[in-house]
Structure 1
Amino acid sequence: MSHDDVGARMRARIGALLERLVESGQENGLQVAVHLHSELIVDACAGDASPGRAVAPDTLIHSFSLGKGFTATLVHILADRGLIDYDTPIAHYWPEFGAHGKDRATVRHALTHATGVPQLPAAITPAELCDWDTMCTIVAAQEPLWEPGTASGYHGWTFGWILGETVRRITGLTPAEALRSYVAEPLGVADELFYGLPESELARTAPLVEGDWAAYLESLPPSVPFVRLIAPNRSVWTTAELANRRDYLLADLPAGGTTTARAAARMYAALLGEVDGVRLLTPERTRLASAVAVDGKDRTFLGRSTKGLGYFLGLPEMARETTSFGHHGSGGSIAFADRERGLSFALTRTRLVSPEVDTGRVLANEVRSLVSQPGSHAL
């Protein structure tokens, strides 16, 4: 089957599937984008962004930890340019972070969720969460729960400040400015790939709605580390209530991101090869960033987790294949690159759902089934 035939079949199948999901009431608003061998072949959407306003390809959707993939990419670009070194202690760039034995924590540890500081103070508020200087002071002063580098446990919120402040100290740019300069502008998506939004973009952003995600979080025992450490009180749970706050959407939070599916898929495509003449990383850097760095029990999730440098590998949406790398977001968004197939995929969504709702896996499997020859674009 020719490349054009694959694209035509995929557009028809994915478009019809999105419409069925919305018409059934299972979903509210969806975007799916697919690049194959660096070419955008699917840019589909369905449903409503808000009453009377349909989701469009350029509708912005807050997608929580999808943005961690943006942050990892930004760090690797700086590494490619010799501005940051994975095995240099974070305290070399940000001296205050070295408190309480964290002077041995490296950039590599931060990328692999191994610095030992996934926790937030129990009484943390959304207003504090949105204040960069306040949060960097809090994170720098944290005592690690384990010796840095000896274990990995998902750093849900703190990943963003640890790496974001390191980037700021190195470049002199805020994380939002650095993301724009090093990632979004070169890719031509400066108006679609964000941490915090410019105020002018709020009107383009679809409000999130709750499916069963908040109920899923509510069902977790308080002793579970994900609740006890990462989101220690309900006001900072990754729910629609938080994501629809104006101050939250405007805040520079590199643990999350607001984007379109096509911008996220374009970023991952530019990690695999050139997209309109732009390649974000050298092939060697992409191989290094997406290789297995951690494979074992995650102290936050309490299950096995395979991680590269800042990306997850082998998630369910990736068919458990560790040759795929990317990041998911609370409530069911996902974006990743498939090195074996030369494929990048992104799903953004307005309805937040529990892990039991497998829309992302179903859509990604559909895409994979139409790409007939694995290995044709392997890195």
Structure 2
Amino acid sequence: MDLQGTLDRLVATGAESGLQVAAYRLGRPVVEAYAGVAGSGALIHSFSVGKGCTATLVHVLAERGLIDHDAPIARYWPEFGAHGKAGITVRHALTHTSAVPQLPRGLTRDELCDWDTMCGVVASARPLWEPGTDSGYHGWTYGWILGETVRRVTGLTPGEALREYVAEPLGIADELYFGLPETALPRVEPLVEGGWEANLAGLPHGAPFTRLVAPNRGLWTTASLADRRAYLLADLPACATLTARAAARMYAALLGEVDGVRLLSPAGVEAAAAVAVEGTDRMLLRRHAKGLGYFLGMPPMGGEVTAFGHHGSGGSVAFADRARGLSFALTRTRLVGPDNDTTQLLADAVRAGVGA
């Protein structure tokens, strides 16, 4: 497949508005293409692709002895242990088994963007089931649970820690962010609705995602939220604003060395990417395999559990394929519903090219 030609056609026909694709194999860049955006250095908010960045940061800190996967989060953040949460561990948070995926129904977008407010909300929450016994996607709360843990052990905000421990060593400090600095705002490509918000609106009444995870429309992961200046500036480690190139480079540096930099030891990657929980997710109501902070074997990953990474609302994705030594990232400006096949098309094309 002529990948650049495919991207150009998708944008020219209106099927997509803006795309970036990047891939590394065995530590070297093999794909870098874009269409409909200012370039491969344009920043695109990619929602929960950022959870993979947060997981990576936690694992880097764990290898440095700053975080213990099996330690209670309350060891680092004592206030979190209230209301039956004293036994919740970092591992529980990474696997979405902490049992606190919920947000208050009346929460506003302004409150969502205030770090201290949201840490207070999470600390005061009560588990919805026995922690550690089942997994339910922590769409927003994942970011504060792990992000405040990072802040307590490093003394840095999550965004500062991501920069120091992940982005700067890889030379992508201006391409990988939780919250953006003011100076980066002009590089952000606006998102547009392409079916994702309609998909959320079409979920059955009482669906766990819209009843608990994002319990009012202002908290839905939509273009109208992500295009707000205050949101883009907020440190929200459940999400990230980045380039496809940065995401692919980060995952490549988990698989092996990239220009002399490797983020985790082989044993660390093996532990992070092994199946930790598997079954029907309580919030998403679909069957998933999860490692420590990553989803495993999703369709764009080839359906193979040797691939690990994270998707984002509206169709962005980034992952590492251990069997092929391949990392792949797609960022997009048009937020699409689950019936859109662009992500699968492009991931399959890159996989086929590597195979050839």
> Does TM, normalized by the shorter one, top 0.5?
yes
Deviations 1:200-220 (A, max 9, x none): 000000000110111111101
TM-score between the two structures when normalised by the length of structure 1: 0.93
Runs (5+) with no aligned partner, structure 2: none
Q: Report the Cα offset of residue 25 of structure 1.
A: 1.1
Match of 1:34 among 23, 44, 54: 23
In the alignment, what sits opposite 1:44? 33
In the alignment, what sits opposite 1:202? 185
In the alignment, what sits opposite 1:9? none
Q: Tell me the distance in 1 between the aligned counterparts of 2:352 and 2:174.
A: 32
Match of 2:317 among 334, 349, 365: 334
Match of 1:250 among 233, 239, 242: 233
The residue correspondences of 1:79-90 to structure 2 (distance < 5 A) are 79-90=62-73
Match of 1:184 among 167, 172, 175: 167
In the alignment, what sits opposite 2:126? 143
Q: Tell me the distance in 2 between the aligned counterparts of 1:348 and 1:141.
A: 35
In the alignment, what sits opposite 1:363? 346
Q: Tell me the distance in 2 between the aligned counterparts of 1:268 and 1:303.
A: 25
Q: Report the Cα offset of residue 34 of structure 1.
A: 0.6
Q: Tell me the distance in 2 between the aligned counterparts of 1:163 and 1:296.
A: 23
Q: Report the Cα offset of residue 57 of structure 1.
A: 0.5
TM-score between the two structures when normalised by the length of structure 2: 0.99
In the alignment, what sits opposite 1:126? 109
Deviations 1:230-273 (A, max 9, x none): 11000111000000000000000000000000000000000001
Q: Which amino acid aligns with 2:145?
A: I
In the alignment, what sits opposite 2:303? 320
The residue correspondences of 1:1-379 to structure 2 (distance < 5 A) are 13-47=2-36, 49=37, 55-372=38-355
Runs (5+) with no aligned partner, structure 1: 1-11, 50-54, 374-379
Deviations 1:171-199 (A, max 9, x none): 11000100000000000000000000000
Q: How many residues align?
A: 356
Q: Report the Cα offset of residue 358 of structure 1.
A: 1.6
Q: Tell me the distance in 2 between the aligned counterparts of 1:308 and 1:28.
A: 32
Q: Which amino acid aligns with 2:29?
A: L
Q: Which amino acid aligns with 2:24?
A: H
Instruction: Report percent identity of matched pairs.
Output: 68
Superposed structure 1 runs of 4+ greater than 6 Å apart: none
Q: Tell me the distance in 1 between the aligned counterparts of 2:288 and 2:232.
A: 29
Q: Report the Cα offset of residue 372 of structure 1.
A: 2.1
Q: Tell me the distance in 1 between the aligned counterparts of 2:121 and 2:51.
A: 20
